[in-house]
Amino acid sequence: MANPVVHFEVMGKDAAKTQTFYSSLFGWNVNADNPWNYGMVDNGGSGINGGIGGGDQAPPHAIFYVEVSDLQSTLDQAAGLGGQVLMPVTEIPGAVTMAIFADPDGNQIGLVKSA
């Protein structure tokens, strides 16, 4: 089976402003009630869920996350194909284990470990 896209992320300069923009524009339910003020987007079972953050968390960007069984192996393969590792395998306790790479054109792609 192919590796599915399981999450998207939009990061802006101001998390609350960016969350309000996308919530108002698309009618997304955004819940930022967590220690990181990271707005979790729940699309109610239609499409994939995602997150909206901002501020010092990262520079403005949009990214999608692909679920894979072996993060390091996938990063190694991406590098071998001309990509560049931007964030090594990183565990956020109680949340996710993830990594980020750039493709040869500089597009950022996130990886999350399969459950």
- Walk along the chain (115 residues) and give the pLDDT tens digit of each residue: 589 999 999 999 999 999 999 999 888 999 999 988 999 999 888 889 999 998 876 788 899 999 999 999 999 999 999 999 999 999 999 889 999 999 988 989 999 998 7
d(CA 28, CA 41): 6
Of the candidates 9, 39, 31, the residue with the CA atom closest to the CA atom of residue 111 = 9
Q: What is the pLDDT of residue 33?
A: 95
Q: What is the count of structural domains for the chain?
A: 1
Domain range for 104:
5-113
DSSP H/E element including 112: strand 108-113
pLDDT value of residue 56: 78
CATH number of the CATH domain containing 83: 3.10.180.10
Q: Which residues contact 20 (CB under 8 A, 6 or more apart)?
A: none
What confidence score (pLDDT) does residue 44 get? Answer: 83
